[in-house]
Amino acid sequence: MCGIVGIYLKTKKFEKNLGKMLSGMLNNMESRGPDSAGFAIYKNSDKKEYKYSLCINNLDFTKFKKNISKKIRNLKLNQYSDHIIVKTPEIPKKFIKFINKEFPEVSIVGYGRSIEIFKQVGNPKDVVKKFNLENFSGTHGIGHTRMATESAITTDGSHPYSTGEDECLVHNGSLSNHNNLRRELKKKGNTFTSENDTEVAAGYVSNSLANNNSLKNTLVSGLKDLDGFYTFIAGTRKGFAVVRDEIACKPAVIAETKNYVAIASEFQAMAHLPDVNNAKIFEPEPGIVYSWGN
């Protein structure tokens, strides 16, 4: 099953409430995915700094802070439970290599100039509380509640998957050609951290974006290359896009007002959003890519 949600703000009116709106959406999708949850929040990007979202797992935060501060001088750390947002001018290539070498127990959940990403096993309501999602502000956000089918219930198996700078993907469904596609993408230089099918789709999107294709065109070619059932929400620094496979067994509903666009697996996820009863509400048609902000 799984529940997916996303919200893109067209105006500044609700920027301070983004976390609150998204947390309500995730809480209402508990019934579709009770075993893990995650979300990505996009904030106005900083041109000087990168943000790295790390999960330190069982590592002690004070110890981690002490050790990393010894090696890298210019950084700021914010702790949210077992996730740390590291702000630093260090470039991704160098910093990721450094973390992998010095802190092998730490997993890199995502990175970019704008994205902050959090995911964990457990009931969505607990996960949302743990990371204090309600207090987040931002321009757009994407979330996922997981009912595991394809791979184990672990943090690595949770969504969103982020495989490129400021990119992320959530998925409701299952892919049948992910093993083949993973092999092909590995040959092209992609790396994968799990056996999960969605990570392959995220890798596919990253690979295409890196080759200067637009997000919309990437998802259009994905309709041919990704075999299986899916509703995807793919996020970038500028916005997000939604696509359903051509059979369209996996649900999605979109509500659009003058202030925001919300997407969710079911309407009940957005029943609490402001002015939703006057929103334009529609289902994304099968095989059509819908995109905002890109």
Partner 1 sequence: MKLDLKKLKLRKVNEQLQNIDRKINDRNFTIINPEGNHAVCAGLTEELNINIKGHVGYYCAGMNQKANITIEGNVGTGVAENMMSGKVHVKGNASQSAGATAHGGLLVIDGDASSRCGISMKGVNIVVKGSVGHMSGFMSQAGNLVVCGDAGEALGDSLYETNIYIRGNVKSLGADCVEKKMDIKHIKKLNLLLKEANIKNLKAESFKRYGSAKKLYNFKIDNISNY
**CA–CA distance, 278 with 146 (Å, rounded to integer):** 30
Query: How many CB atoms neighbour CB 117 within 10 A?
Result: 29
Considering only residues 238 through 267, tell me which ones interact with partner 1, judged by CB under 8 A. Answer: 248, 251, 253, 266-267
**Residue count of the chain:** 294
**Are residues 10 and 246 in contact, defined by beta-carbon separation less than 8 angstroms?**
no
**Nearest residue to 140 (alpha-carbon basis) of 117, 162, 109:** 117
Can you tell me which of 74, 191, 212, 277 binds partner 1, judged by CB under 8 A?
277
Nearer to partner 1, 29 or 109 (CB): 29
Binding pattern to partner 1, positions 195-234, x when CB under 8 A?
A: ----------------------------------------
The yes-or-no answer on residue 2 being catalytic is yes
Q: How far is residue 130's CA from residue 153's CA, in Å, rounded to a whole number?
A: 18
Select 68 or 255, whichever has its Cβ closest to partner 1. 255
**Residues of span 134-153 touching partner 1 by CB under 8 A:** none
Interacting residues of 108 by C-beta distance below 8 A, sequence separation 6+: 52, 53, 54, 96, 99, 100
Contact 251, 231 (CB under 8 A): yes
Q: Is the dihedral of CA 243, 21, 24, 200 positive or negative?
A: positive
Among positions 268, 274, 288, 294, the unique one binding partner 1 when judged by CB under 8 A: 268
**Alpha carbons 43 and 237: distance in angstroms, whole number:** 8
Stretch that binds partner 1, among 65-73, 126-134, 181-189, 280-288 (CB under 8 A): 280-288
Tell whether residue 61 is a contact of partner 1 (CB under 8 A): no
> In the beta sheet, which residues pair with residue 85?
53, 78
The nearest distance, CB 266 to partner 1, in angstroms, is 6
List the alpha helices (DSSP H) in 74-152: 92-102, 124-130
Of the candidates 77, 223, 281, 288, which one interacts with partner 1 according to CB under 8 A? 281
Strand order in the sheet with 83-88: 76-80, 83-88, 50-55, 107-112
As a whole number of angstroms, the distance between CA 241 and CA 204 comes to 15
Regarding 271 and contact with partner 1 (CB under 8 A), the answer is yes
Number of residues this chain uses to bind partner 1 (CB under 8 A): 16
Toward partner 1, which CB reaches closer, 58 or 277? Answer: 277
Nearer to partner 1 among residue 89 and residue 287 (C-beta): 287
- Of 2, 55, 168, 249, which residue is the catalytic one? 2
Of these, 105, 126, 225, 283, which contacts partner 1 (CB under 8 A)? Answer: 283
Q: Which of 113, 259, 286, 294 binds partner 1 (CB under 8 A)?
A: 286
- Distance separating alpha carbons of residues 126 and 144, to the nearest angstrom: 14
- What's the min distance (Å) between Cβ of 174 and partner 1? 18
* Residue with Cβ nearer partner 1 (174 or 268): 268
Residue 175: strand, helix, or coil? strand
Of residues 33 and 112, the one with the C-beta less far from partner 1: 33
Q: Which residues bind partner 1 (CB under 8 A)?
A: 248, 251, 253, 266-272, 277, 281-283, 285-286
Residues with a catalytic annotation lie at 2
